[in-house]
Amino acid sequence: MMENKEKEASPHFTQSAIYREWQEAAGRKVKIFSLSDGENQLAWQSICYPLLLGKSYWYIPHGPIIIGRLTEKLVEEFKTVNKKLLAETDSVFLRFEPWPKEDASTKLWQKYFKTAPEVSYKSSFVQSPNDWRLNLNKSEDELLKTMHEKTRYGINLAKRKEVTVEKVEGKDMAKYFNDFYQLMSDTATRNEFRLHPKSYYEIIWNSAKETDQLNLFIARYQNQILAMHLILFFGDTAYYPFGASSNIGREKMPTQLLHWEAICEAKRRGLSWYNFGAIENSAGKSGHQWSGLSIYKKRFGGEMLSYSPLFDLVGQPFWYLIYNLRRKFKK
Distance between terminal CA atoms of the chain? 31
Q: Are residues 138 and 189 in the same domain?
A: yes
Q: Structural domain of residue 22, as residue ranges?
A: 13-127+308-329
In whole angstroms, give the CA distance from residue 102 to residue 114.
Answer: 17
- pLDDT at position 287, please? 47
- pLDDT at position 272, please? 97
Q: Are residues 118 and 69 in the same domain?
A: yes
Residue 6 belongs to some domain of the structure: no
Residue 246 belongs to some domain of the structure: yes
Q: Are residues 258 and 149 in the same domain?
A: yes
The neighbouring-strand residues paired with 58 are 48, 94
Q: Are 124 and 59 in contact (CB under 8 A)?
A: no
Q: Are residues 108 and 154 in the same domain?
A: no
Q: Are residues 324 and 290 in the same domain?
A: no
Q: Are residues 180 and 227 in the same domain?
A: yes
- pLDDT at position 329, please? 79
pTM of this structure: 0.93
- pLDDT at position 288, please? 53
Q: Are residues 312 and 302 in the same domain?
A: no
Spans of the chain, pLDDT less than 70: 1-9, 122, 124, 282-290, 331
- Whichever domain contains 166, its CATH number is 3.40.630.30
Q: Are residues 110 and 173 in the same domain?
A: no
Domain count within the chain: 2
Query: Which tens digits make up the pLDDT trace of 253-282?
Result: 999 999 999 999 999 999 999 999 999 875
> What is the separation of C-alpha 38 from the centre of its chain, rounded to a whole number of angstroms?
32
Q: Are residues 314 and 244 in the same domain?
A: no
Q: Are residues 57 and 158 in the same domain?
A: no
Q: Are residues 293 and 313 in the same domain?
A: no
Query: Which tens digits make up the pLDDT trace of 153-162?
Result: 999 999 999 9
Q: Are residues 46 and 147 in the same domain?
A: no
Residue 107 belongs to some domain of the structure: yes
- pLDDT at position 119, please? 78
Give the DSSP H or E segment for 287. none
